[in-house]
Structure 1
Amino acid sequence: MQGRKKVVRELIFDPEVEKTAKANRKAVRLAHQAALLTSGTEEILEEEVPSSNTSNDETESMAEVDPPPRRTLGDYGQATGGHNPNLGFQPANPVSFDIKNTVLSALKENQFSGSESECPNIHLARFYEACGNTDPTGVSESNKKLRLFPLSLTSRVKDWIDTLPPNTIASWDELELKFRERYFPIHKFLERRNDITNFEQGDSESLYDAWERFKLCLKKCPNHGLDSNAQMQHFTQGLRAQTRMLLDASAGGSLKNKDESEARELVEAMAQNEYRV
């Protein structure tokens, strides 16, 4: 039986098959582009996405990313693009309105600098008073205070509010809370409350001066948590013996027989009489 002829084809071995494949793909792409240019056909070629077989060198070449411009150390101290990045305090929803000269003057005259001699609660009370003198149309009470409050600050407190992250404060209640946390922390609250609960009349202090100082202590700590009865008890117990005797005589025997409102009226009347003398 005659055997079949075996046809042996010689295989060409290409040791750089990937390189050859990339060259072939490139040749096909160039031929396609040349054909388009020759025919005059306008076609938007989609950006080629490198295949998984594309080498790192070829990917970087196709991207052609320009390196960032060289910057010296001195450049970092300069503003970029002609803009000043420090815009001061910026609430989440800033509003703009004309401020009356009388309001602006009141805010400037009672600016809070954060010194030990200043009381943040007294400052807030005066700020509320100034805000009551203006009522811009279409502006809520919260947004009005957010707009005006920075004008009532100066020195290091102005620096403090300008460091708050922009667009993070959405209401006046949020800003007031941050202000109190910063300038009326718990240890100051306890000190001011202690001034009320342990009040004492000075050796040479008149009833009028003692009463005015006690009321100022209440203003410096508005959240003291003491009702009217407790307030009068702390005040009268801190008076000198001679002053209490005068109050008892004016009360017709003993101040203890008076309720809170009657005792307060008596103290107010005696203090005013003493002030007029």
Structure 2
Amino acid sequence: MSKNGDEAEKTLCEWATQEVTQAPLCITFPEAQNFELKSGLIHLLPPFRGLENEDPHKFLKEFHVVCSGMKPHTVTEVQIKLTAFAFSVQDAAKEWLYDLPSEILGIKQGKKEALHTYWERFKKLLAWCPQHGISDYQLYQCFCEGLIPMERQLINASSGGSPSDMTPTEISALIEKLANESKHSATEEEWYPDHPRGVKEISNAHLES
């Protein structure tokens, strides 16, 4: 999440006006040397269409057996399965796969999740998926779109208008600053002004009566 060489960073707004690559599939395909999924091997894969009468557990067992049997010595079983899975699902199951967002691209802030917690969760996802292939522009666009309305207003106000007029580096620094400030909020009620203040559930039968 830094500048590429000496090329000046664009703002999110400038980036959005350019042609961007297709959003990645929810599966991150591993890099493997000298490995190509042959058409003959693809035909051995069990099909799964997502029908009500199909047994997903049986499908996964058959999928495991086929993938284990086609594994070359230089390729791991995980690499085989990640590459082959999209060829195994069909019809409604394939539509489901294509509509399934990448975990990073589909990130959303929880209704009662503090900004610093959401920010740390976002950074952990990036650390877990170092080869996600998603540009910094798209990453921060997804992060900002996943904010709850109150947090989005805070980001807009702190950015002097809109984060789309900032570069990824500037947005990252701003979010880091605001996230650190949110850690020092005295109570959950202070961070969430719509949260009921001083209201506790009472289960004591005597007090209720």
Per the normalisation by structure 2, the TM-score is 0.43
Larger radius of gyration: 1
Per the normalisation by structure 1, the TM-score is 0.34
Task: Tell me: higher relative CO, structure 1 or 2? Use CA pairs within 8 A at least 6 residues apart.
Answer: 2
